Each structure stands twice: as C-alpha cells, then as structure tokens.
C-alpha cells in the first residue's frame, strides 16, 4: 500500500490527494480520493467610512444677572433707551428721609419723585457687562436683547431689559429702612440689600434678581 500525499495542481487551481506507489512500482496512480478541492475564497471586507458627527448646536446664551436700577440708572434708561412707554417705574433707591418711601420715575414726563414702598408700580431690570471699546453705542441692542443705556469708561456697558418685566408690584413688603445709593453703579448692591429684607418675595427687586432672558 502506498502513502497518500496532497498535491496542488496550479494549472487548474485545484488540490488533489494521490497515492505514491508501493516499493518497486515506478508509476503514480491517482487515488480514488482524487477530488478537486476549491480553495477557500478570501472574504471580502467592506469598510464603511466613519460618519461625520453632526455638530450639536450651542444653547442660546442666557442672562440672569439683572438688578433693579438705582435712581440715576433709571434716569439714564429714560434718557437713552426710549422703549418703555409712559408708565411709572421703581428705582432701587430708598428715600432716606422717610423709611416708607422709595424713588420712582414717571416715563411720561421724566419726573423723578418718591412713592410708598407698598404701592404698585412697573419695573425695568438692568444689568452690566464688559466688552471691547466701541462694541456698543447708546440705544443699541445689547447681548441680552435689551438696550444699552449707559457706558462707563470704554468697556463697561449697562443694558436694560427688552421690556418692562412687571407692571404692578411693590417696592417692598416692609417699611424697614434700607441703606441704598442713588448713583450709577449702585443698583446691584441696592438690589441685594432689598431682597435681604424679610418678605421680599414678589417685590420689584426680587423680580429683577429672578429675571432671566
């Protein structure tokens, strides 16, 4: 009995099994296992391109750094913003001579006077921000959608809210005296002092502090 060997036929791209002859036999005999075997094909690999991710749009900027403007800040809004009709608006400046009164301004005439803190008046919010010199002019629309009403130096800008944020709210729910300023630049500190009063929820300063655009 001969030995079985595997032979590759390059002409036909086939593999065959052959028996070698026994000793003394000088010719080869194709085995009964002479069955063509097709080589295993190389698998085709398809590489899909990595999809380009869709950019996630940035959330719109929000602004929650508002305060009730001081007496002089409110007057600057009246002078330079022009957009609030003829209502009467609270300032954040306490009327120091009488603890139960605070300053307000009539936008139909521009007159500044004072009123009972428990009275209901309208409210405009204000905020400050910094930007490059000349980035905004008075009356321009600011980054929060309001109006530029004052520019301090060349990089500090004051912006009023796009609209009045309330029409009938009290200045305070108590008559406790509050140490506030009247100048431009004091509105934020005034607001902080007012909302520290007991029962400040629902007041003009509280509304500005909780306002956002």
SS (H, E, C) 36-89: CECCCCCCCCCCCCCCCCCCCCCCCCCCCCCECCCHHHHHHHHHHCCCCCCCEE
Choice among 66-70, 197-201, 205-209 with the minimum mean pLDDT = 197-201
Give tens-digit pLDDT for 129-140: 999 999 999 999
Same domain, 195 and 93: yes
Predicted pLDDT of residue 31: 37
Give 142-192 pLDDT, tens digit per residue.
999 999 999 999 999 999 999 999 999 999 988 888 889 999 999 999 999
The residue with greater pLDDT, 45 or 185, is 185
Q: Does residue 60 belong to any structural domain of this protein?
A: no
Per the domain annotation, does 195 fall within a domain?
yes
Half-sphere exposure of 97 (CA within 13 A, CB side): 4
What's the mean pLDDT in 39-62?
55
User: Is residue 38 pLDDT above 60, yes or no?
Assistant: no
Q: Where are the alpha helices (DSSP H) in the chain?
A: 71-80, 187-195, 204-209
Domain identity same for 28 and 118: no
Q: DSSP label at 114?
A: E
Is 100 in the same domain as 6?
A: no
Do 33 and 101 sit in the same domain of this protein?
no
State pTM to two decimals. Answer: 0.71
Position 47 scores a pLDDT of 54
| Residue-number span of the structural domain to which 22 is assigned | 1-40
195 and 97 in a common domain: yes
- pLDDT value of residue 170: 96
Mean of the per-residue pLDDT values of the chain = 82
20, two tokens: 């070698």
Q: Is 96 helix (H, G, I), strand (E, B) or coil?
A: coil
**Counted domains in the chain:** 2
What counts of helices (H) and strands (E) characterise the chain? 3, 11
pLDDT at 40: 54
Give the residue from 197, 32, 181 showing the smallest Cα distance to 92: 181
Distances (CA, A) of 57 to 54, 60, 61: 9, 9, 12
């Amino acid at each position: 009995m001969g030995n079985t060997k595997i032979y590759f036929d390059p002409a036909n791209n086939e593999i065959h099994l052959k028996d070698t002859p026994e000793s003394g036999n000088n010719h080869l005999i194709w085995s009964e296992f002479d069955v063509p075997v097709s080589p295993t094909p190389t698998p085709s690999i398809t590489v899909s391109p990595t999809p380009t991710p869709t950019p996630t749009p940035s959330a719109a900027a929000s602004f929650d750094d508002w305060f009730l403007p001081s007496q002089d800040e409110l007057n600057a809004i009246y002078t330079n913003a022009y957009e609030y009709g003829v209502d009467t608006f609270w300032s954040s400046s306490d009327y120091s001579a009488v603890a139960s009164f605070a300053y307000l301004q009539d936008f139909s005439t521009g007159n500044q006077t004072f009123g009972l803190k428990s009275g209901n008046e309208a409210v405009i919010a204000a905020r400050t921000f910094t930007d490059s010199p000349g980035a905004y002019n008075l009356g321009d629309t600011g980054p929060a959608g309001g109006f530029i009403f004052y520019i301090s130096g060349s990089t500090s800008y004051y912006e009023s809210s796009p609209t009045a944020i309330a029409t009938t709210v009290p200045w305070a729910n108590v008559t406790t005296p509050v140490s506030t300023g009247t100048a431009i630049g004091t509105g934020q500190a005034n607001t902080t002092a007012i909302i520290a009063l007991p029962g400040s929820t629902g007041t003009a300063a509280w509304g500005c502090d909780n306002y956002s655009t």
